[in-house]
Amino acid sequence: KAIKADDDPRVRVLSALPGITDTIAKDILSEFGGLKPLMRTKTTQKELMSIKGMTRRKARAVLELRKPYRSDH
């Protein structure tokens, strides 16, 4: 099933980051299987940069989202 930006809150979360378009957000979700796997795994900046249109700065912004998921609290 294709991911649609209009009705998918995950796309809205990712596309709220600077430089992340709806297309990039959909590609991230397709590649990594959703937000939860992306946030809870050790996805690297390099892996994210394999997505078309993803720069180092954009990849860092995405990875910053997972800090609350990765804390030991």
More confident residue, 5 or 13: 13
| Per-residue model confidence (pLDDT) at position 3 | 65
Are 20 and 61 in contact by the 8 Å Cβ rule? The answer is yes
More confident residue, 62 or 2: 62
Q: Give me the percent of the chain exceeding a pLDDT of 70.
A: 85
16-45: average pLDDT: 92
Are 69 and 40 in contact by the 8 Å Cβ rule? The answer is yes
- Which residues fall within 8 angstroms of residue 47, CB to CB, at 6 or more apart? none
Burial class (CB in 10 A: 0-12, 13-18, 19+), 57: exposed
21-49: average pLDDT: 92
CB atoms within 10 A of CB 62: 23
